[in-house]
Every structure is written in structure tokens, then in C-alpha cells.
Amino acid sequence: MSYIKKNISILGPLIGLILFSIFLGIMNDSFLTLNNILNLLRQISVNSLIAFGMTFVILTAGIDLSVGSILALGSALTAGLLSSSMDPLLAIFLGLLIGFLLGAINGVIITKGKVAPFIATLATMTIYRGATLVYTGGRPITGLSDSFTFEMIGKGYVFGIPFPAILMIIMFLILYFVLNKTVFGRQVYAIGGNEEASILSGIKADRVKIWVYSLTGMLSVLAGIIITSRLNSAQPTAGASYELDAIAAVVIGGTSLAGGRGRIIGTLIGALIIGVIDNGLNLMNVSSFYQQIVKGGIILLAVLLDRSSNK
């Protein structure tokens, strides 16, 4: 009973996901094939990774609009390092560190500068994008490493499973543990639940928030490296409007934009729903113009259902 109650927020999205999948499976023979499912998992990995970070941010009652720009800047700088024939593992590590720092800047502006997260990240979204354009001169960075390690990240398979999907699942498990089993995770919920009460109970809310934005920055660059590896180039316009899909996945997954309430497994389901819509409608040859209408409709439906279940 308490198990159902605890999971009620993801029950709706989960049922939605199953119904969609059955519907698409009936409409199209190739949808429920192993190949397509693995393909789907790879497709959603980029959005999922960003959305995992976004879940933490939204749980603290914040928002991060700059994820797409961080993705682009981090990818471009990583690509730059790779094309100067740096060791790929080191380049990836430095890329992730850059993402972490760009996120930390967001966090510091929001906490120490006391700027609303929406405004702060709206500004850094523009700044980071501009920096990407300056660094790349507006042109893609190509001619990257042909090392096995780097190719593996975006294009590789392990036991027939796409490597990005594995990366996504590993990150999910780690972040699930962090959010549900650690003091840090509990503090993230607490800040979103009542920031003043949290501080008065001894939580260093500013520090926790800076960590949350840093984590999101790092996950965004990780997602960017997957794209860079797949395309074997870094695009200056990469990640544009990715924040919207990430926020959509979090919201569809039942996390409250007011903070303090939500689950990361919901976000995974949310990302799957978005992926299933994209993938399924593609298979059915529905125009991408219509896909947007459907996606928007689903977001609206998810929020409306969440609202009525909270009454």
C-alpha cells in the first residue's frame, strides 16, 4: 500500500508509456522489435542525461535553461582538445570538468548573487552560446580523434547494447542512489520543500544548490560528448532548445516545478515517453510538424493529470 502511494506520481506516466507503446506496436510492426527498442534507448540517452540533472535542479525549485549552451561549449572545447591530439580520456575528463565549472558559475550567480534561476540561466544560456560561437568561429570542429575510446562513446555497442544507452543506465543508477539514499539527495528535496526550514535545520543550502547546477552542467557535457562522438564533429549550434525537452521529461515524469516533490525514475519514464513519440511517429511517417503538436499535447496532459491527482 505505502509502496503504491510512494510511487503514485510515476504511475500515470508509466501507464501512459505502456499504452503508447502498445498502440504504436499495433500500428507498426517494427516498433516493438529488439532492434528498434535498442535504437530508442540510444536516441533518448542524450535527453535523459540532461534531464537527470534537470531533475535535481527542479527538485530544489530551480530551473536551468543553459543546459543546451553548456552542452555546445563543453563539446566544442572537448573537440578542440581532441583535434590537438590530446589523449581522448583526458580530453573527455577536461570536457566534463568544464561542464561542471560552467554549471558552478550558474550556481554561484543564483545563490551568492541572489538572482532567480530562470533569469540567471537565461543570461548564461546566451553567454555560453556566444562563447561557443566565438570559440568555433561559427563553424563545426571536425577531424577529431579516431581513437577507439572516443568512437565507442557515441557509436559503440557492448553485448549488442548501444554504449550511450549503457552510459545512461549507469548514470541513472548512480543518481538514483544519490537522490534516494544519501544525505545530499535528501537535502536536495528539503531545499525544494522549504528552503528556510532547511537552512534553519543546518543545511548549507547555497552549497547544495551550487553542486546541483554543477552536476547538471557536467551531465550536459556528457550528453554533448555522445553527440560529438556520433557525428565525429562538434557543432556550434548543438543542443539548441534541448532544455525544453529536458524540462518536458522532468515534468511528464511527475516532478513538481515548485520543487521538493518528484522522482528521477519518473524523469526516465518521461524521457522514454518523449522518445517513443518521436520514434513511433517517425516510423509511421508522421511529419515532424505534427510530432511537435503531439509532444506539446502530452506535456499539457501530464501536468493536468498531476494537478488533479494532487487535489
Partner 1 sequence: MSDTPIIEMEHIDKSFVGNQVLSDVHFDIQEGEIHALMGENGAGKSTLIKVLTGIHPRDSGIIRWKGEEVKFSNPKEAEKEGIIVIHQELNIIPYLTVAENMFLGKELTYGKSGIIKSNEMKAQTKGILDKLGVKNIQPNDIAGNLSVGKQQMVEIARALATEAKVIIMDEPTAALTEREIRSLFNLVQDLKKQGVSFVYISHRMEEIFEICDRITVLRDGSYVGTRMVKETNLEAVVKMMVGRELGQRFPEKNNYIGDVILSVENFSSPGWFDNVTFDVRKGEILGVSGLMGAGRSEVMEALFGYRKSSNGHVKLDGKPLKANHPKNLIKQGIGFITEDRKVKGLMLEAPIRENITLANFKRVSKNQVIQTKKERELVNQLIKRLNVKATNSEQQVKSLSGGNQQKVVVAKWLGIEPKVLILDEPTRGVDIGAKKEIYTIINELAENGVAIIMVSSELQEILGVSDRVMVMHEGKVKGFFDRNEATQEKIMLAATGGE
Identified binder of partner 1 from the candidate list 160, 200, 285, 308, rule CB under 8 A = 200
CA dihedral sign of residues 94, 96, 102, 104: negative
- What is the size of the binding site for partner 1 (CB under 8 A)? 24
Q: Which stretch binds partner 1 (CB under 8 A): 49-57, 98-106, 190-198, 266-274?
A: 190-198
- Please say which residue, 61 or 168, places its beta carbon nearer to partner 1: 61
- Greatest pairwise CA separation for the chain in angstroms: 58
Residues 259-288 as x/- pattern, contact with partner 1 by CB under 8 A? -xx---------------------------
Please pick, from the candidates 4, 160, 202, 285, the single residue that binds partner 1 as defined by CB under 8 A: 202
Q: Are 78 and 91 in contact (CB under 8 A)?
A: yes
> CA 39 to CA 304: how far, in whole Å?
31
Stretch that binds partner 1, among 7-15, 115-123, 184-192, 242-250 (CB under 8 A): 184-192
State which of residues 65, 144, 203, 271 lies at the interface with partner 1 (CB under 8 A).
203
151 or 206: CB nearest partner 1 = 206
CA distance linking residue 51 with residue 58, whole number of Å? 10
Determine the interface stretch with partner 1 among 95-103, 144-152, 179-187, 241-249 (rule: CB under 8 A). 179-187
C-alpha cell at 71: 552542452
Query: Among 116, 113, 255, which Cα is nearest to 188's?
Result: 255
Per-residue mark of binding to partner 1, 225-264 (x: CB under 8 A): -----------------------------------xx---
* 64, 121 contact by CB (below 8 A): yes
- Of residues 17 through 76, those in contact with partner 1 by CB under 8 A are none
Kindly tell me which residue out of 182, 237, 287, 292 binds partner 1, with binding defined by CB under 8 A: 182
Residues between 102 and 141 with contacts to partner 1, criterion CB under 8 A: none
Q: What is the spatial distance between Cα 110 and Cα 37, in angstroms, rounded to a whole number? A: 39
Q: Is 173 in the site for partner 1 (CB under 8 A)?
A: no
Residue among 263, 260, 250, 110 nearest 190 (CA): 260
Q: Which of 196, 285, 288, 289 binds partner 1 (CB under 8 A)?
A: 196
**Closer residue to partner 1 in complex, CB, 61/221:** 61
Give me the DSSP letters along 90-147.
HHHHHHHHHHHHHHHHHHHHHHTS---HHHHHHHHHHHHHHHHHHHHTTS-B------
Q: Residues 277, 295: contact at Cβ < 8 Å?
A: yes
Nearest CA-CA partner of 91 in 129, 139, 147: 147
Contacts of 131 (CB under 8 A, 6+ apart): 73
Residues 204-223 within binding reach of partner 1 (CB under 8 A): 204
Which range of residues in 160-168, 175-183, 270-278, 291-299 is near partner 1 by CB under 8 A?
A: 175-183
Which residues here bind partner 1, judged by CB under 8 A?
2, 5-6, 181-184, 186-187, 189-190, 193-194, 196-204, 260-261
